[in-house]
Structure formats: C-alpha cells, structure tokens
Structure 1
Amino acid sequence: MEKSRSIRRAGKYIEDFLEEYVVLDLETTGLSPVTHEIIEIGAIAFRGGVQTGEYCTLVRPKTRISGFITNLTGISNDMVRFSPTIEEALPGLHGFLDGRPVLAHNASFDLGFLNAAYERHFGMPFPNDYLDTMRISRKLYPTARHRLQDLTERFGIERDGAHRSMADCIMTQRAYECMREHCRRNGIELKKKPKPNRFGSGLNLKELKRPENEVDKNHPLYGRCICITGALLRETRQELLQKVVNVGGVAVDSVTKKTEILVLGSKEEWTARKSSKVLKAEKMMSEGHPIRIMSEEELYRFL
C-alpha cells in the first residue's frame, strides 16, 4: 500500500444494525496509541449473520512486551519474534476491510491505534465507518456496566480465549447480534432511543471526605494521584473521585508531574478532538513520565 494524501476523511460512527460489517479487535502493549504498539490484529467479516472471511496476524512491536500484557493476553515476546511489523501487516488488513464498516467494542480504543498507525505509515487517517457495541449497550442498558465481559455475561456468551483478538471478535459479534434481536423483539428503533445522561465536572476537591475506615495499602489505587477528563456516564466527577479517595487514592484536578492516572470519561474518545489534559498526558508519556491513561470503565474495575 503506497502512501496517499488523497484520502483525508476519518471514518464516522454509524448507529445502526447492519447486514454486512467486519468485526475488528486489536491487542496492544498498552493504552496510548502515542506511546504503545499493536501486537495482534483480528478481523472477521460477516454478511447476513454468516462469516465470510477473516484476517488475523500477530505483530512484532519495536519494544518488548511487558509481563503484564503477556499475562493478560497470552502473547509473549517469543510469539511475535518472527511476526510482521505493523508496516508489513497494515496493507493486508486494509485490503481485507475493503472499505466495509468496522464493528468493535469500545471502538475509540482500537480505531485510535489504527488512526495513529495509518497516519504514521501511510499519511492518512483510518477511513472506514464504524459501529460500537459499547455505545449501543450504553443506549439500550443505561444503568448497566458495558465492558465486553459484562455483555457476554448479560447475553450468556462464552468467553473462551478472552483478550485474544479473534476470540474477542467473536464475542463482540455475538453481543451485537443479541442487541439487534433485543431491539427487534421489543420494537426499539436504536436511532430514536434517547442518549444516556452524562455527567460533567462539578468538581470541588475540598469537599471530598477522607475515608472513615482504614484503607488497604495494597489496593492498586492506594496513594495514586488520579485526574479525570471528559464527561462521565454514571455519576459526577465528585462522586467518582470520592470512591477513589475511599480506597486510598489521591484526587487531583489537573495533569502535573505528580499525576499517575488520567481517566477518560465515556464521552472522551481517542479518535475525537483530545482535551488539553489528554494532550499534556500524552506529551509527558512520550517524555518518559510514568502516567497511565485509562477509560472510565477500566477505573471501575478497581472500585
């Protein structure tokens, strides 16, 4: 695939149930498309609910895969030693997608990495339109949790091979079709259903209360300085940061050298215009500062 400046349009979100799409999932070395890399690409094409093709490859990163990522995904440095680089893998993926809409869970994460890779290697943004099972779930089940694990539990979908690209693709496709059937049975028109409420800032750090009981110093958030950017789905920043303080975390309202975790509210997307906090955090990460960027849903895993 040659570099192209003729295609500048990034894909747009489609809020619908389509008959033809390609399910996509990536495994990566971390959370940021600026400082981390893709290590596995999985894509499965469907038409009318029937699988019509697939593309899957491990990808050899320029940096070593951490033990944490190996434990999470099962992908080791030995496994990717002779795999193609991202430059070598992208043309095959691009050809397989063939302009078709992409379905992913928490699509902003996967498309953020693909946007970065396409811009870096081909001088163009990732052009395909996309669907997102997380966004659909938020609309249909506003009070529930929306991780892929939550959707598989809700619909009774097996989780064999979770955190590998092809297995996650299969789970995502089944969840998508389950939500299609839910709408069909209940006469729900997805586009007409109101968007879930989102909570903005309203933050006053001075009103946060110290925990009444002794906190567990082994808790993963204990002593960590945590900041939030973007609108939240479930509650206000004040309420969420109070939960952080309750487990021993330290709430902050700006990104500084002391900040260790920046949480992206559900409205914040890697593919959209980034907030000043995200831009500053990414710059700090590129300079070697150990700040971690995680989603709202990921933070709830620790709470």
Structure 2
Amino acid sequence: MAYQKQYYKRGHYVKKIIDDYCVLDIETTGLSWQKDKIIEIGILKVRNKEIVERYSQLINPQQNISPFITQLTGIDNQMVEDMPVLSSVQDDILRFFGHDPIIGHNTAFDLNFIANHFQINLSNEYMDTLQFCRKVYPQMPHHRLTDMVEFLGLSTNEHRSLADCISTYELYEHLKKEIIRQHISI
C-alpha cells in the first residue's frame, strides 16, 4: 500500500498526571511510516494506576523483515507469515484505545504509524514519557527507554511491544511520583 502525501493527525499532545490511560508500543520494519510497516503492536489499558487489560498482536507486514530488525526485535519473517494484516485488526486496536489518553516513549513515532497506516485522524490525547524524562532527569546524556529502564531498575526493555509497554507504564508511574515530589512544572 502506498501512502499519500496527506498526513493524518496523531492526536493532541498534552502533559498531565493521570491514572487512567493506555500505553502503546509498536515494532516496525524500519523508521519511516511512509516506507515501513508495523510488525507488532502492544497496548496496556491502565485504570487507577493498575494494568487491567493487555493487547498484543504480531502483524504480517506483507514485506520482508530485515536481519537487522530481526536481531533487534527477535521477530522474523516466519513468525509473521500466518499473522493477520494490519487492516484486519484495525477495529480491534481502535476499540481497545477508545477515547483513552495514549502514553508511550517517543509516542509520535508510534502514533504516526498508526494514524497514517489506518488513514485516520486520531482524536486521543497523547503523552510522551521521553519528554517527561528530559524534565525529571536533565542530567542524563540519553533518555532512551533502554537507558531509563537500566537507570531506574525497571522491567527489562526487550524491543518487543508488550514488554516495552510494561517498561513505559512503570516509567510513567515513576515519573509521576518524581514530578509531584520535586514540584516539577510540566
């Protein structure tokens, strides 16, 4: 599928301390939503700071996964060959999100893929733990999810969607406490 030059909206960026939200992470065949495809999607539904539901799905990208991506994610062509294509799970994904705010680490990347591959304007609010990390830990040279997981001793970041969602959830809950404790303006 070729994507038009039209860019679909990825939602509305906000900065809030909230207890009910969804956490999103995707794995892709590369970094460009115009050329690359989604190969895995993970979502956590959080209510009152607790994970209450999980969604995880490998996706057949209908193109080859490079050895680099396989090495990074552990996802290979054989794993996705009998999986659904993205369009067949689109409604499930959108239903899972509902109107919840969406949280992720470098969220714009994930939501650009979702909005443009689904060819819809998302109306959900979204937040980015990467931006919160820069506010709370300005002294750190890098704020990648892997760096933050290691620095804070959170669940291991594996470059798999659901595992990265869990790391991002733990990171957001930690950051909320630090923002309140340190009286940081977001």
TM over 0.5: same fold? Answer: yes
Distance (Å, rounded) in 1 between the aligned partners of 2:134 and 2:162 = 24
Offset of 1:142 from its aligned partner?
A: 2.1
Distance 1:72 1:10 in 2: 26
Structure 1 residues 1-303: aligned runs within 5 Å? 10-119=10-119, 124-144=120-140, 145-159=142-156, 162-186=158-182, 188-191=183-186
Cα distance in 2 for residues equivalent to 1:10 and 1:41:
16
In 2, the alpha carbon distance for the partners of 1:86 and 1:127 equals: 20
Find the aligned partners of 1:158 and 1:56 in 2 and give their Cα distance.
17
Q: Normalization by structure 2: what TM-score?
A: 0.91
1:163-205 Cα offsets, whole Å, 9 max, x none, are: 000000000000111111112222x1433xxxxxxxxxxxxxx
- For residues 62 and 172 of structure 2, the distance between their equivalents in structure 1, rounded to whole angstroms, comes to 34
Per-residue Cα deviation, 1:44-71 (whole angstroms, up to 9, x for no partner): 0001111111111000012111111111
| Residues 1:190 and 1:84: Cα distance change in structure 2 (over 3 Å) | farther
Q: Which residue of 2 aligns with 1:227?
A: none
Structure 1: runs of 5+ lacking an equivalent: 1-7, 192-303
How many Å separate the matches in 1 of 2:103 and 2:10?
A: 15
Match of 1:244 in 2: none
What are structure 2's unaligned runs of at least 5 residues?
A: 1-7
Which residue is 1:268 aligned to?
none
Aligned-residue identity in percent: 38
Residue identity opposite 1:171 in structure 2: S
* Deviations 1:6-65, CA, capped at 9 Å, x for gaps: xx8641111011110000000000000000000000000001111111111000012111
Per-residue Cα deviation, 1:269-299 (whole angstroms, up to 9, x for no partner): xxxxxxxxxxxxxxxxxxxxxxxxxxxxxxx
Contact 1:25-1:41 at 8 Å conserved across structures: yes
Distance 2:78 2:130 in 1: 33
Paired position in structure 2 for 1:262: none
3-state secondary structure, aligned to 1:190: coil
Asked if the contact 2:10/2:111 (under 8 Å) is kept, the reply is no
Tell me, yes or no, if the aligned pair for 1:46 and 1:52 is still in contact at 8 Å: yes
Q: 1:9 to 1:29 in 2, by over 3 A?
A: closer
The one-letter amino acid of 1:182's match is E
The whole-number CA distance in structure 2 between the counterparts of 1:181 and 1:126 is: 29
Q: Give, in whole Å, the separation in 1 of the partners of 2:54 and 2:9.
A: 25
Query: Is this contact kept in 2: 1:58–1:80, CA < 8 A?
Result: yes
Report the count of equivalent residues: 178
Structure showing greater Rg: 1
What's the TM-score, normalizing by structure 1? Answer: 0.57
| 4+ runs deviating over 3 angstroms | none
Give the 3-state SS of the residue equivalent to 1:11 in structure 2.
strand
